Amino acid sequence: MQTISNTNFHFPKQTGFYRGKVREVYEIDNQYLVMVASDRISAFDFILPRQIPFKGQVLNLIAGKFLNMCEDIVPNWIIDLPDPNVALGYKCVPIKIEMVIRGYLSGHSWRVYKSGERMICGVSMPENMKENDAFPIPIITPASKASDGHDEDISREKILEQGIVSEDDYLELERITRALFKRGTEYAAKMGLILVDTKYEFGYLDGKIVLMDEIHTPDSSRYFYAKTYADFQLKGEKQKQLSKEFIREWLMENNFQGLDGQTMPIMDDEIVERVSNRYLELYEHLIGEDLNKEQGANVYDRIEENVENALKSLYLRQ
């Protein structure tokens, strides 16, 4: 099974390249981006040593579906999905915060709560909550986008104080974030899932706020099964998650949180297969069909050909 690790394409009119933790971003003609979703997986700001089969396709195709589904709420950066692993879109000016919204006390918010804190990003959390309880209303807990890739909690007050965006634009980001989360929550419910929390990234295109990057994927979001949620909460059992949180939990069980002196645990074939199956399971539940796993002889050749054809078509339309 061929997975996608690092890529080294040279596309027509290419003017730049950036390698993120998961995505490889090719700048075209200073105005477009070709974003290749690799099969790498990261946690605690570290790239894990093994790739996960089909992970890139799952992320890219889910993101494409939800971007299209939410165009009436906010415009987005996408022009085309020319390949299962590739998105082609407009180059935007990034807004250097992530808009994180949480409907439930899970993951990072639970770790903060368990430590005794009742404030996160300037937002208060109620007393007497258990892990995975629902908040009375979803809370927005932004994160700053540092240049070294390490995200940190930041409050609305700090965002405005640092001049990252204007107050009007921040209020608009909050409005859009709540509307997107509502849409994602309603769709997930139809598919028997609970959208627990997620993050959105935005930028400016021709001076207007647009949605960038991915949306409602297992890397940016957390899902529970709706059918078993209430019973598991009543019994105090852990919720089965369709998200990347379980890989973080596996790392923590193996004494790794990216801290000095810690060693990355060995990822054997069994854990790689288990992670891949979780991603495929989420795709099946969210999209309502199995992922097409036909890849052809060489996935890199397929991507290169599909992207070059898409760029040719794009310039012919101009």
Percentage of the chain lying above the pLDDT 70 cut = 97
Q: Has residue 148 got a pLDDT over 60?
A: no
Give residue 240's pLDDT.
85
**pLDDT at res. 295:** 63
Instruction: Report pLDDT for 218.
Output: 84
Instruction: Report the SS3 class of residue 194.
Output: strand
- Per-residue confidence (pLDDT) for residue 318, from 0 to 100: 75
Those residues whose C-beta lies under 8 Å from the C-beta of residue 235, and which sit 6 or more positions away, are none
When mean pLDDT is compared across 101-105, 250-254, 281-285, 300-304, the lowest value belongs to: 281-285
Model pLDDT, residue 293: 81
As beta bridge partners, residue 209 has 204
Query: Cα 169–175–179 angle (5° rounding)?
Result: 140
Give every CB contact of residue 295 below 8 A, 6+ residues apart in sequence.
Answer: 2, 302
H, E, C per residue of 62-88: HHHHHHHHCCCCCCECEEEEEECCEEE
> From CA 132, how far away is CA 134, in angstroms rounded?
6
Question: What predicted TM-score, i.e. pTM, was given to this entire model?
Answer: 0.90
CB atoms within 10 A of CB 254: 14
pLDDT at 146 over 70: no
Q: In angstroms, rounded to a whole number, what is the distance separating the alpha carbons of residues 100 and 140?
A: 6
Residues 6+ away with beta carbon under 8 Å from 280: 54, 58, 290, 291
Q: Taking 80 as the threshold, does the pLDDT of residue 93 lie above it?
A: yes
Q: What is the pLDDT of residue 292?
A: 86
Write down the pLDDT at residue 243. Answer: 76
Above pLDDT 90, what percent of the chain?
81
Q: Look at residue 149 in the predicted model and tell me its pLDDT.
A: 54
Output the CA torsion 56→59→65→70 (10° steps).
-140
- Chain segment 174-204, per-residue pLDDT in tens: 999 999 999 999 999 999 999 999 999 999 9
Domains of the chain: 14-92+270-316 (3.30.200.20), 93-243 (3.30.470.20)
pLDDT tens-digit profile of 205-243?
999 999 998 899 988 999 999 999 999 999 999 998 877
